[in-house]
Amino acid sequence: MFTLVKNAQEKYPNKNRMIYMDIEGHKNKDGGFDHDLFELQKDFILGFLMQFISEVSMPLGRFKNENQKNDVPDGLNIVPAKD
């Protein structure tokens, strides 16, 4: 997803970027999203990527960002949490 946003900025500089995401499966025994897909939506998309897009529509909800940043970093470094 990060690469898609980075490529969109390079191909269409400073244009509004939107993500539409459907998720099939990945449900827990209670019918909610499993940990990984909940974390992807909440922590990665909303917690980090949202600053570089103007809107996202995903199973967790639809969210808008009126202050999209266009200085998308060159790369992304994901490391495991210490706890």
Which tens digit of pLDDT belongs to each residue from 6-32? Answer: 999 999 999 999 999 988 877 778 877
Please check the confidence at residue 37 and state whether its pLDDT lies above 80. Answer: yes
Q: Indicate whether 69 belongs to any domain.
A: no
**For the chain, first and last CA: distance in Å?**
25
pLDDT of 25 reads 73
**What sign does the CA torsion over 56, 57, 59, 60 have?**
positive
> How many CB atoms sit inside 10 A of residue 17's CB?
20
Q: Indicate whether 14 belongs to any domain.
A: yes
Q: Indicate whether 47 belongs to any domain.
A: yes
Convert the pLDDT of each residue in 52-65 to its tens digit: 999 999 998 999 99
Q: Indicate whether 28 belongs to any domain.
A: yes
Please check the confidence at residue 51 and state whether its pLDDT lies above 80. Answer: yes
Q: Phi/psi of residue 33, each to 5°?
A: -70, 145
pLDDT of 79 reads 84
* 28-37 per-residue burial string, b: 16 or more CB within 10 A, e: under 16: eeeeebeeeb
pLDDT of 46 reads 97
User: In total, how many domains does the chain have?
Assistant: 1
Q: Indicate whether 10 belongs to any domain.
A: yes
Q: Indicate whether 30 belongs to any domain.
A: yes
Q: Indicate whether 23 belongs to any domain.
A: yes
Residue range(s) defining the domain that contains residue 30:
2-64
pTM of the model: 0.84
Q: Indicate whether 74 belongs to any domain.
A: no
